[in-house]
Structure 1
């Protein structure tokens, strides 16, 4: 396990060494290689990028292929993020697609389309914020212009994705 973790690029002194050991503990070398190759193809990552992503988020090795595929399709095809951007911020792949990533993307998209954002936020920042902080930064300042935004966001987080966020 130690040799495997170090072979992936996580040195013994790293803060990610223990999580990496847990991630590879029950995986054979063949399964790890298959998962690495799958991530390279799915996210269009180079060898270096997949190494960076796994060293920052070892639990990527334990995620199922379907989950990774859905996140890849959404983040790259819908949101328009570059594969390298995701590789350097793999924590995004740990968040719930339906309960966090998708609803927040739709809020930011709604705010942009309606001219309510002064600057283009980093999607990593949008996705990583706590729910309270996200609402404070992106929803509460627009209560007058978009009074239904918080209700629409809360519904989207519960899986009841509205077809459109409402603007009144």
Structure 2
């Protein structure tokens, strides 16, 4: 397991090493190769970029192919993120698409379309902040201009898309 984790590019002294050990613990070499190939194909990554993903977020190997496919489609097609952007920020792949990534994207898109925030927000920082910080930065300051935003965000976190978040 140790050799396998190191072979993936996660050094022993790295804080991610124990996560890499856990990720490869129950994967045969064949399954690991298949998972790496899926990552490469789904996110259109080079071998070097796959290495970056694994070194920064080895637990990505524990995600199912279907789960990663949904994230790939959403992040690249709907959000418009480039593969390299995702490769250098793979921690966002560890969050729930339905419970965190998609609802936060909808809130930010709503705020941008209504001129309530600037268009140069970094998506990664939107996803990575805690729920409390997200509420303080993106929901609370807009209570008057968008009184239903908190309710719509809560609805989106439950997997439903509120009408106000239906973008054309």
Q: TM-score, normalised by structure 2?
A: 0.95
Question: Which residue matches 1:147?
Answer: 147
The offset of 1:119, in angstroms, is 4.9
Question: Which residue matches 1:40?
Answer: 40
Structure 1 segments unaligned to the other structure (5+ residues): none
Per-residue CA shift, 1:46-77, capped at 9, x if unaligned? Answer: 00111100111111111100000000000000
Q: 1:149·1:165 contact (CA, 8 Å) conserved in 2?
A: no
Q: TM-score, normalised by structure 1?
A: 0.95
Aligned CA RMSD, in angstroms, stands at 1.2
SS in 1 for 2:102: helix
Question: Which residue matches 1:29?
Answer: 29
Distance 2:31 2:109 in 1: 38
Distance 1:108 1:2 in 2: 41
SS in 2 for 1:72: helix
The offset of 1:18, in angstroms, is 1.0
Residue 111, structure 1, aligned to residue 95, structure 2: no
Distance 1:86 1:121 in 2: 16
Runs of 4+ in 1 over 3 A off after TM superposition: none
Distance 1:159 1:79 in 2: 17
The offset of 1:102, in angstroms, is 0.5
Per-residue CA shift, 1:52-107, capped at 9, x if unaligned? Answer: 00111111111100000000000000000010111111111010101111010000
Question: Which residue matches 2:85?
Answer: 85
